[in-house]
Structure 1
């Protein structure tokens, strides 16, 4: 897919992977619109890269999604929708049932899954009106093997992975020009994972892998260790499960 000259909307684009993606897409000649709920971060991103268009909106809010769509339409529309925004709510008691655990799970599902569907539905006609268009949904290796500690986050990403495959096939059946990509990252060094001591890749490396996959039209884009993990999970699922859930996870659950 040719990215130069395309207009891309990046959710969660003011920090972390989203901001790095904005920088790299700009560098290869794309027009970039970012959105996020934190106005201060959006302002900082705009100050650092004046070519960026920044629009405040919350991925969990239905009315914000409609507002975002209307603003993007006023700006001339987009060719690529990159659903990057995601949340991971630390479980209040590592999965033991209580109200906070249920509320956190609902919020993760609202942002990581339902929010993606809302934006895809809103922007679909716009994307289909373009000569070449794409949707990028970010899932996770945790959609292949669940984390005991991050069970509800894993579940939200699994829902998104299944939806992404179904959406891609549905659009193929009706002859749509909208290409649907699934980005499967490993653990990436961001604010969300700052307290994790596991092996991580940089956001820069992650986005380079994404752009390479888009240009080669690899509809399932695995970056870094996600490539090897996919093979391990396919042939040795128990080993893959243990990689995601080492002994220290069990100790945390016991304590």
Structure 2
């Protein structure tokens, strides 16, 4: 896929992977719109990269989504919708009665799954009208193997993975030129993963691999350890589960 001259909308683009992606899209000749809930972070992103257009918007809010679509229309539309925004709540013991778990699960499903569908539905006709439009949905290494500490987060990513595959096939049946990419990052060093242990890939390296996958029309883009987990889980699912859920995670659940 050619990135030069494309217009890209990145949700959750004011920090972490989203901001690094904005930087690298700009470097490849694309123009970039980022969204986020935090105006201060959006302002900081604009100071770093003045070419960026920043729009305050909460992907979990239906009204915000409609406003965002209208603003993007007024800016001339986009070629690429990159659904990067995501949330991860604190670990909770699923084996105990806990009302907070339901609230957290609903929040993760709303942001990580339902909000993606909402934006895709809003922007699909715009993307179909482009010579080379694309949707990028961000799932996770955890869409291959469940996590005891991030159970509902992993579930939201599994839901998004299945939806992404179905959406891609639907558009192919409709003879649409819109490409549907699935990005599967490993554990990446971001604000969201600060308290997590394990080897973390830098945002720069992750996005570099992601951009290369887009340019090569690699519809399923597995980065770093995700490639290993994908293969290992197909051959040795029990071993992969134990590797993803070491004994120390049991202590967190029991505490």
TM-score strictly above 0.5: yes
Deviations 1:36-65 (A, max 9, x none): 000000000011111000000001100000
What is the CA–CA distance in structure 2 between the aligned matches of 1:197 and 1:177, rounded to whole Å? Answer: 41
Counterpart position of 1:48: 48
- Tell me the TM-score normalised to structure 2 length: 0.98
Counterpart position of 1:37: 37
2:134 paired with 1:140: no
Shift of 1:254: 2.4
**Contact 1:91-1:104 at 8 Å conserved across structures:** no
Between 153-162 and 94-103, the greater mean CA deviation after superposition: 94-103
Structure 1 segment 170-181 matched on structure 2, within 5 A:
170-181=170-181
Shift of 1:99: 1.4
Counterpart position of 1:89: 89
CA RMSD of aligned residues (A): 1.0
2:252 paired with 1:241: no
Structure 1 segment 119-198 matched on structure 2, within 5 A:
119-198=119-198
Counterpart position of 1:118: 118
Between 244-253 and 152-161, the greater mean CA deviation after superposition: 244-253
2:64 paired with 1:64: yes
Long gaps (5+) in structure 2:
none
What is the CA–CA distance in structure 1 between the aligned matches of 2:73 and 2:22, rounded to whole Å? Answer: 19
What is the CA–CA distance in structure 2 between the aligned matches of 1:213 and 1:250, rounded to whole Å? Answer: 36
What is the CA–CA distance in structure 1 between the aligned matches of 2:212 and 2:234, rounded to whole Å? Answer: 24
Long gaps (5+) in structure 1:
none
Shift of 1:93: 4.3
What is the CA–CA distance in structure 2 between the aligned matches of 1:125 and 1:249, rounded to whole Å? Answer: 44
Structure 1 runs (4+) greater than 4 angstroms displaced: 92-95
2:117 paired with 1:104: no
Name the SS of the counterpart of 1:58 in structure 2.
coil
**Contact 2:92-2:253 at 8 Å conserved across structures:** no
What is the CA–CA distance in structure 2 between the aligned matches of 1:182 and 1:243, rounded to whole Å? Answer: 24
